[in-house]
Structure 1
Amino acid sequence: MNLDIGEKIKELRTKNNLTLNDLSSRTNLSIGYLSQLERGLTSVAIDTLDNIAKALGVTIYYFLSKPKNKKNFILRSYEREVLEVENNRIIQIQLTNDIEGKNLLPRIFEILPSSSDEEITSYPHIGEEFVYVLEGILTLLIDKERYELFPGDSAHYSSNREHNWTNNTNRIVKILTVHTPNLFKK
């Protein structure tokens, strides 16, 4: 996902004849950060991506894969679709048919194992998050503290706190999440 977003940012920036310095001035983000973002070397918080989108004259939806919207409030298990695959390690599965106009964004994430010595970047953004561990052991980072969550454990926190999560085991971790705001709400 980071590389896809970065490529889209670079494509729009060059299409608009903007340098990294120009975009930096418009967004108050460092040139180094923007360069890393364009190369897919760092992640971006939703509010930062929204800031970049406005500076480039598009909406945030330009950078996000929009889920299919069906006006049925029931989604059968066999109808679920993969919303996105991030870095070949995190699979997002859509849990609702009718995503537009809703405040909540429910998803299941399947997180493949990663090395415990990989650096995990925590970031804040607007909204709140609820995480429920279905399978495996999730490492949750909040305000530089690490928490191990086991099946049946949950966490509910304000997204404006520095946070992220990862899988430092050798087994798949599956979590149910509910986020606000719903990025796909119109």
Structure 2
Amino acid sequence: MNIGEKVKNLRNERGMTLKQLSEATGLSTGFLSQFERGITTIAVEHLSTIATLFKVKINFFFEEEAEIEPIVRGYNQPVIHKLNNMIDKQLSSFPQDKMIAPKMIEIMPHENRELPAPYPHQGEEFVYVLEGILTLMIEDTIYQLYPGDSAHYFSTRNHNWDNQTNNIVKFIVVHYPNDY
């Protein structure tokens, strides 16, 4: 697959038109159409702009198409984020080109029992509790989710979660759109 085809695939996966890509990059729709069809080449700085827009590294366009193993082993889950008492682990083998972002989050017990501030963002979220008791805030309502419980909500509503217990809380969260 050539570079233009990879750009076209990313654009289509994200439901973006050539006109929208043109407006976002400052490149003409005619040029982009020719580029996607392999008729013309593109300057590296423009390709870098496109990579940033689609949230992929620029080397994504130059890598050979290798069969990506769809499996992430439990012993090999990459830690993608650590902040204070929370650890996020990646559950997708190559999340950069996917529409959803599944993660496993572990919240350690902590001294501060003050609930974190809720906040909104684009999309929707699905949460499934594996271990412990998750405190989930959606707008002005506070829920206690136990192992096996789940919640699915629009993340445009003010929300947040926390561990208000003395035990670890583990849960799976799936974001749409992908925030990688």
TM-score bin (small chain): 0.5 to 0.7
| Residue in 2 that maps onto 1:101 | 97
Pair 1:59–1:112, CA change in 2 (3 A): farther
Look up the match of 1:167.
163
Question: Separation in 1 of the partners of 2:144 and 2:111?
Answer: 15
Residue number among 141, 148, 153 corresponding to 1:145 in the alignment? 141
Aligned length: 119
1:157 is paired with a residue whose SS is strand
Q: Which runs of 5+ in 1 are unaligned?
A: 1-57, 62-69
Q: Could you say which residue in structure 2 is the equivalent of 1:154? A: 150
Quick one: distance in 2 between partners of 1:111 and 1:139? 11
TM superposition shift of 1:71: 2.4
Contact 2:136–2:144 (CA<8 Å) still a contact in 1? yes
Aligned counterpart, 1:177: 173
From the CA coordinates, give the structure whose radius of gyration is larger. 2
Q: Given residue 145 of structure 1, which amino acid in structure 2 is its aligned partner?
A: T
Q: Is the 8 A contact 1:106 1:177 kept in 2?
A: yes
Residue 84 (str. 1) matches residue 57 (str. 2)? no
TM-superposition CA deviations, 1:55-104 (whole Å, max 9, x none): xxx8796xxxxxxxx822112222211111112x0000111111122111
The Cα shift of 1:119 comes to 3.9
CA-atom RMSD in angstroms: 2.1
What is the distance in 1 between the residues matched to 2:112 and 2:144? 13
Could you say if the C-alpha distance between residues 139 and 60 of structure 1 is closer, same or farther in structure 2, counting changes exceeding 3 Å?
farther
TM-score of the pair, normalised by structure 1:
0.59
Distance in 2, Cα, partners of 1:168 & 1:119: 8
Among 64, 70, 74, the alignment partner of 1:73 is 70
Q: What residue ranges of structure 2 are gaps of 5+ in the alignment?
A: 1-51, 56-66
8 Å contact 2:115–2:162 — kept in the other structure? no
Residues 121 and 60 (structure 1), Cα distance of their counterparts in 2 relative to 1, 3 Å cut? farther
Residues 138, 74 of structure 1: CA spacing in aligned structure 2 closer, same or farther, 3 A cutoff? same
Which residue in 1 is equivalent to 2:114?
Answer: 118
Secondary structure of the equivalent of 2:120?
coil
TM-score by structure 2 length? Answer: 0.61
CA distance in 2, matches of 1:172, 1:162: 24
